[in-house]
Amino acid sequence: MTKDERLAAQNECQVLKLLSHPNIIEYYENFLEDKALMIAMEYAPGGTLAEYIQKRCNSLLDEDTILHFFVQILLALHHVHTKLILHRDLKTQNILLDKHQMIVKIGDFGISKILSSKSKAYTVVGTPCYISPELCEGKPYNQKSDIWALGCVLYELTSLKRAFEAGNLPALVLKIMSGTFAPISDRYSPELRHLILSMLNLDPSKRPQLNEIMAHPICIPALLNLYSDIGSVKMRVEKPLASVPAASRVRPASRIPSARSRGGRIGHSPAKPSIPPPLSSVYTWGSGISNPLRLPMLNTEVVQVSAGRTQKAGVTKSGRLIMWEATPVGTGASSLPGSIDHAQPQFISRFLEGQSGVTIKHVSCGDLFTACLTDRGIIMTFGSGSNGCLGHDNFNDVTQPKIVEALLGYEIVHVSCGASHAIAVSNEKEVFSWGRGDNGRLGLGSQDSHNSPQQVNIPQEYEAQKIVCGIDSSMILTVANQLLACGSNRFNKLGLDHILSASEPYSEEQVEEAYTFTPIQSAPLNQEAILCADVGTSHSAVVTALGQCYTFGSNQHGQLGTSVHRNSRVPCLVTALQGLTVTMAACGDAYTVAVGAEGQVFTWGKGARGRLGRRDEGIGIPKIVQLEESHPYVVTSVACCHGNTLLAVKPSLEDISV
């Protein structure tokens, strides 16, 4: 696209986002794909009004049909004008029909003009046959020019041909300036013919306003019929792409269940061979949601999820960033006096705009901010800039993803966000941290905060691979599957205490804070190969190469996986999961989630406000969480933050043939 084409396309996206009306083509989203701007809009299978008129040949439409179409266009244009927007290219080619050719929807806002108190639309734009006389004279474009175009459309409906046509532009302008057009058939009522003539008045001040047209005696019966016959034309309250019917999007090859079905497996119901499984499902619970709630999804596969204090985000297999947002509670009918509303919040999903055509491969959420990692090793952050956690060398908030420019010279392979800090690692094993520095969580040797990335020194014998950031601490998982940690070690939640056996360490062997990344010292963690780790508010969990789950830190609410709420700084093997191969674990504020190789999901710890994904208050013994999956599945990603959990699953390839 040229610069002008790009601006026009971006303008159409901005205009469409402002409009929400049953007679206007609905906008879903825009994104870049292979350097082309893609705009996803509502599909109108009935073609254009121009094609509809052309197929009539010389068979004139009856007046009721004309008015049925006209009042819908009228309502749509009225909505556009109330938003202080001029269409500037209203014509029958831009008016679309539904599959029954009964409902009309106007579209193509590529050259629309959003009015402001200081702007006037002077540019000569639009299809020449529909431009107004004042535009031919170079006068400012206003609402009356759209009404002229509306008159041209109504004339075309009555005559099946354009009001103004000529072999060249000067002749066309001459016809428009003189107001010369063929007379309207006398088969139509004098009121309809007079309405057309009033809209095609050469003097803009003498053309009627839209509300005057709507109050015209000939339009009122048509408007009443429209509301009584069509009723409430279905339209979406929100505009996320998630609300697009799956059938209207291009679907990949169907996934057909195999003839073999194991059935009876823990965590799912037997597969129904007639219903293909979704590409993936994402569940959430906590913050009052007691049972796993399936989030609205697109026909796509989510491969990784992350949760923040207010954010829920995921990365699709195609590299798109998807966000889930809770709709306001209590927007429906009011409850009876004295009643208690237990309704669960509803969520909508949307693709993040401003992704700029890049492919996202990992996302991490902090408190009120988010970091994305692209397939080219670039980090983009957005959200709250407090504490400098966006890494942009300032404390400003950013609404759209913005590149962390200080890291452009490095190829970043992993990034993690804590509550108010972030850490990244490059392909050369370099580590960078920024944000709030309390407790030494940045690993920079002090408690200083930084609003731009600072390189972190780690012991030379260790090579960083992945980062895990918590509320007030951080961990590095090395290439050799060892753990380094820094920050607050309260309750020995980082395993930095010098522990050689199951006995409690002496006070001099206890570490409360570490300002630099230090190898964990607590046995047996210092001797195990660790594949996965996560840090909660006051405890941590790791998964070893043998598939065992260890927890360490506070056990006030049984979050270590033992029914005995003992105060111990010694790491604890979750014995209730022995015999099960654990593949991943995540820690919330006072609870733990573990996932088995067969797709089982276990939770334990504090159960208040639905933290455990079930209705019991919870104890220190792991219990399974039931998901509403009709097909065998595997868990692809799990994330916890405070009291919220996010879990992504997909069909098991062992049971589903592609």
Catalytic residues: 89
Task: Let me know: does 612 contact 604? Beta carbons within 8 Å.
Answer: yes
Which tokens is 549 given? 């789950």
Task: Let me know: does 14 contact 113? Beta carbons within 8 Å.
Answer: no
Question: What string of DSSP letters covers 292-353?
Answer: EEEPP--SS-EEEEEE-SS-EEEEETTS-EEEEEEPPTT-SSPPPTT----PPPPEEEEEPS
CA-closest candidate to residue 524, choices 566, 570, 466, 590: 570
Distances (CA, A) of 33 to 42, 153, 355, 357: 19, 36, 11, 6
Provide the greatest CA pair distance for the chain.
Answer: 104
How far apart, in whole angstroms, are the C-alpha atoms of residue 83 and residue 114? 8
Spatial neighbors of 230 by CB under 8 A, at least 6 apart, are 102, 103
CA-closest candidate to residue 248, choices 286, 188, 298, 321: 298
Task: Let me know: does 280 contact 608? Beta carbons within 8 Å.
Answer: no
Show the beta-strand stretches assigned E in 457-538: 464-469, 473-478, 483-488, 513-519, 530-535
How far apart, in whole angstroms, are the C-alpha atoms of residue 161 and residue 152? 10
Show the beta-strand stretches assigned E in 6-146: 27-33, 36-41, 85-86, 95-97, 104-106, 113-114
Q: Cα 607 vs. chain centroid, distance in angstroms?
A: 29
Crossing angle of helices 190-199/143-159, nearest 10°? Answer: 140
Instruction: List own/partner pairs for 1-9 with CB under 8 A and 24 or more apart.
Output: 1/37, 6/37, 8/110, 8/111, 9/37, 9/39, 9/110
Distances (CA, A) of 144 to 131, 218, 453, 518: 11, 20, 55, 72
Question: What string of DSSP letters covers 551-595?
Answer: EEE--TTSTTS-SS-----S-EE-GGGTTS-EEEEEE-SSEEEEE
How far apart, in whole angstroms, are the C-alpha atoms of residue 220 and residue 461? 82
How far apart, in whole angstroms, are the C-alpha atoms of residue 607 and residue 591? 8
